[in-house]
Amino acid sequence: MGLIPTSVNNFVSYCLNPDCLKPQNSATNLFCQGCGFNLLLNERYRPIKLISEGGFSRTFLAVDEGLSPALPCVLKQLWTRNLTPEVSQKARTLFQQEAIRLAELGNHPQIPALISHFEDNQQLYLVQEFIDGSNLAQVVEEEGTFSEAEIWQLLKDILPVIKFIHDHQVIHRDIKPSNIIRRLLSSSPQTQGGQFVLVDFGAAKRVTGTEALQQGTRIGSPEYVAPEQVRGKAVFASDLYSLGVTCIYLLTGIAPFDLFDVVNDRWVWQDYLTQEVSPNLTQILNKLLAYALTRRFHSVDEVMEAIENHRENVRAMVVLPLQPVLGLWQCRYTLEGNSAVNTVAVSPDGSLLASGNDERSISLWDLDTRKAIATFTGHSSAVKSVAFSPDGAILASSSDDKTIKLWNISSRQEICTLSGHSHAVKSLAFSPDGTFLASGSWDKTIKLWDVETGVLKRTLTGHNLQVTAVTFSACGKVLASASCDRTVRLWDLPSGLSSTLKGHSRSVVAVAFSPDGNTLASGSDDNTVILWDLKTGKPLNTFSGHSWSVVVVVFTPDGETLLSGSWDKTIKQWRGSTGQEIASLTGHLDSVSAVAVSPDGRMIVSGSKDQTVKLWHQHE
C-alpha cells in the first residue's frame, strides 16, 4: 500500500465492475469505456488500483477528487451479485457492522479513520484513511524475517491498539501479518501514534452481556485463528493468540501450519529460527500461543505486565564493575535510541559518530559531548550501512529500500540519491581517495559509483547469492566482497579480474582488510573468523570462540588486533598474528550488529539490536 498519488493525472481509473474485461481507463473518464460502469463514486471517489480481493469484498486505492488537491484514500466494495438472498444479507450485515466499528474506533491514531460509507448502484462502499506503508507479510517477503528487537517493538506498538479495541468491547478476529501495516514514518510533527497500524475490521465483532458465551460465525484466517474461534466462540484472548502466531511467522518466515507439530500437538517454531531469541521473549510468545485458554494470557494488560517485568529484569542485569582492571576495555558510555542499531561509523577526525537504525534514519553524534546533533531522514526502510568519505565531508547511507543516499555533513542536507540496485543494499565503502563508493546488495551485485557526479561507473557480477559486505584495500586497487554463497571475492579493479576465497561452511557476512593490505579477515554465519593470506589466497588462521554468527570484523589502526562482533551479544578481541583471543567485551543485551574503531585506536564503538551504541575505552 506504499503508493501515494501526487496527481490524479498520473494514474488510470479502475472500473469497479468485477465482470469488466478492460477495467483500466483514462484518469479523466467518468464512465468505463469497456462496460459503462460509473468511475466516480459519490461524484468524488475515483478508484485507481486494485489492492486486494477476497470473500465478497474488494479493496482499492482511490483518490478523493472532492478535495483540492486530490488526496489518496482506500475504497472497500461489497459485491453481492450472484449470491443467495440469505448469504447476501449476511454479507451486507457484516459490511455494515464494519462501518459501525470503524466509526467507533477510527479516532485512534493506529486505526484507519472511516471517511465515508454509502450505497451506490445497489453496492455498499466504505472509504477509509490511506496508510502509506507495507503490511508485515510484504515486509517479510521483501526484507526478510524480523529480529527479536523488531518483535519487541511490534508488541510495544500494537498491544495498546488491541487494548483500545478490547476496551470498546470489540474482538478483531483477524489479526495477521497482512492486517498490520508498518507505515512510513513522517517527519511531520503531526504524525502521532506508533509505527504499526491495525487494519481490516471486516471480521470484528462487538461483545456485550452474554453474547460472549454464545456461538457465533466461524471467521478469520485459518492459520492465525485461535482454537476456540474455529469453533465459533471467539473471546478477547483469541486476538492475543493470533498476535502470537503473527510474531512467530515474522521471526521465521514459515507458514504457521508448518510451525505446528500435529503428531505431538505442539508448536515447534523455535526449530526454524535463524537467529537467537531470548528466553524472555520465548516465554511470552509461548504463553500467547497456548492452546488452552486457562494457560494463555487473558488480557492485553497481562501481556504488557509480562513485558514490563522483562524490562525490569534487563535493568537488573546491568551491573557496573566496581573496580576496573588496568588495561582492560570498559564500556564508559551508552548512547540510547528508540530502534535497533544496524550500523556505525566514526568520522576520519574522530569527532563524529554516525549510526543507522531500523527506524529508517541516521543519527549523527558529537563524540565529545556524546549528544545527537543531527538526524538524517529520507530512507523508506531500515538503514543498513553508513560510511564517511575519507575527508569527512560526506556521509553515505544505504537501506533495505534499495537506495544509497549521500549527505553533506556541514549543511546536514541530502546531496543525492543513488538508485540502481534491485534489492536491499547492505554494505557501503568509500575508496581511500574518496573518488568511488562501492555498494553491495542482495541483488547479488556490487556497484561502483562516482562520488562527485553520482554516476554508476561499473557493476561487478559473479556471486551466486546475496552480497553482504564490501571493503577496499588501503591502496584502493582491490575490492573484497562477502556473500551468502559462502565465498569472499577479491576484485582487481584495474584489470577487472577476480579471485575467490573458499573456506567458510555458511554465509560470509563480514570482511576487512588489514591496514598493510597483506591479510583479509572474514566473518561468517558458521560462527568463525578466517584470516587469509592475500599473497597465497590460503587461510592463515581460523578464530573460533563465538557461539553465534559473526556479523562484523574490523582491524585496529595498528593492525595488531582484530575485533569481531556477533549475534551472541559480544565483541571479541583477537591477536592477529596468533589468533589468540585477548578479551571478550560483554554488556549488550541483544545481538551486536556493528563495530567501529576510532582513528587513534583508543575507542571501540559497538551498535546492537538492543537499541544502544556503546563506547568502549581502555582503562588506564
Which residues are known catalytic residues? 174
Among all chains, which residue has been given the C-alpha cell 528487537? 149
Among all chains, which residue has been given the C-alpha cell 449470491? 83
Among all chains, which residue has been given the C-alpha cell 589468540? 580
* HEC string for 456-487: EEEEEECCCCCEEEEEECCCCCEEEEEECCCE
Question: Which among 152, 30, 172 is positioned nearest to 104, based on CA atoms?
Answer: 172
Secondary-structure percent of the chain, ordered helix, strand, coil, rounded to 5: 20, 40, 45
Question: Which among 43, 9, 4 is positioned nearest to 26, based on CA atoms?
Answer: 9
Asked whether 198 and 162 are in contact (CB, 8 A), the reply is yes
Looking at residue 38, the DSSP 8-state letter turns out to be B
Instruction: Tell whether omega for the bond before 69 is within 30 degrees of 0, i.e. cis.
Output: yes
Beta strand spans in 273-391 (E): 329-336, 341-346, 352-357, 361-366, 371-377, 383-388
Amino acid at the residue 559: G
Distance CA 38, CA 584 (A): 69
Within 8 A by CB and 6+ apart from 422, the residues are 402, 441, 443
Task: Quote the cell numbers at residue 585.
Answer: 567485551
Which own/partner pairs from 527-530 qualify as long-range (CB within 8 Å, at least 24 positions apart)? Answer: 527/566, 528/504, 529/553, 529/562, 529/564, 529/574, 530/503, 530/504
Sequential DSSP letters for 174-189: --SGGGEEEEPPPSST
Distance CA 562, CA 529 (A): 10
Asked whether 391 and 434 are in contact (CB, 8 A), the reply is yes
Phi, psi of 308 (to 5 degrees): -65, -35
Task: Quote the cell numbers at residue 339.
Answer: 530502534
For 308, half-sphere exposure in the C-beta direction (CA atoms, 13 angstrom radius) is 7
Which own/partner pairs from 429-436 qualify as long-range (CB within 8 Å, at least 24 positions apart)? Answer: 429/387, 429/470, 429/471, 429/472, 429/479, 430/387, 430/388, 430/389, 430/390, 430/396, 430/472, 431/472, 431/476, 432/390, 432/472, 432/474, 432/475, 432/476, 433/390, 433/476, 434/389, 434/390, 434/391, 434/394
Distance CA 554, CA 259 (A): 38
Distance CA 454, CA 3 (A): 26
Within 8 A by CB and 6+ apart from 444, the residues are 461, 463, 464, 465, 466, 467, 483
- For residue 438, how far is the Cα from the chain centroid? 23
